[in-house]
Amino acid sequence: MRGQVVDLADAKFGEANGLMGMWRFVDFIFEVGPGVYFLEEYDPKKIPVLFVHGISGYPQQFTELIDSLDREHFQPWFYFYPSGFHLEGIGNHLASVIGELQAQLGFDEFAVVAHSMGGLVSRSFILKHHEQTGRDDIRLFVAISSPWGGSEGAENVGRAPNGITVFSWLDMSPSSDFLKGLFHQAPDYQSARPLPDHTAFHMIFGFNRRSRSWGPSGDRVLSVASMARPEAIAAARSVLPLNDTHVGILEDEAAIKRVNDLLAKTFEGTKPLLGLR
């Protein structure tokens, strides 16, 4: 799907299809349809903000963030995809869809806001998009609670006993080539692979652990060590840790305010935002 105008409240964009995208990702392609969806007709006077969910995630998780947007100046888009596939392939697909939309609509700047594994998909997409086009059009990238360092035991989860292989979980193994390649150049992964200079990268993550839990600090899903991978911290222009859970952070007032403040600051002075306060 490329720019279909939809209603975010439609059950199609809810939890059931998010789970299908992880466990029955081939069915997702035919029954749901991966792609970039719009909530209104494209308006060249408004900056697109692309939302990217995580593993088993779904667009309705961004409802609070989308409702908070200044819709006079920004237009929300979201990428809905089968999250069980290999992450590099998902990033490449997003790059292809965005390239087609740019050829069709002609927009020359936009922002990306991603949650959880969506941050990995988005970084892969941004790198691929820039390598393919050389365009400096992604002005802002905000990653919320992303597992930059992967997840211990991910490979075992990826090879589930029921016979289903969740390829994205294999990619989130801390030793995977995909994770190495997000910050370092293949094949030896020694040289840095930075984001384009024009892309301002910012991080938000949570640290609300269950009071009776043991082990590394985290947000009840991911460890702080993974979300605060040193290469990600070094690349970020700001880092906001919040006392919240992995999914709850998407409704956290401080997180929502930070995203909107970053959007306002990044795009202040551009043609649609001349009157921005």
Average pLDDT over residues 146-152: 92
C-beta of residue 50 within 8 angstroms of C-beta of residue 39: no
C-beta of residue 12 within 8 angstroms of C-beta of residue 5: no
pLDDT grade for 215, boundaries at 50, 70 and 90: low
Whether this model's pTM surpasses 0.85: yes
pLDDT grade for 151, boundaries at 50, 70 and 90: confident
Fold of 2-268: Rossmann fold (3.40.50)
Query: CA dihedral defined by 255, 20, 93, 60, rounded to 10 degrees?
Result: -30
* pLDDT value at residue 29: 96
C-beta of residue 230 within 8 angstroms of C-beta of residue 275: no
pLDDT grade for 159, boundaries at 50, 70 and 90: low
* pLDDT value at residue 181: 97
pLDDT at 252 over 70: yes
Q: Say how far residue 53 (Cα) sits from the centre of its chain.
A: 5
List the domain boundaries for the chain: 2-268
Percent of the chain with pLDDT over 70: 90
Token look-up 């992880």 returns 22
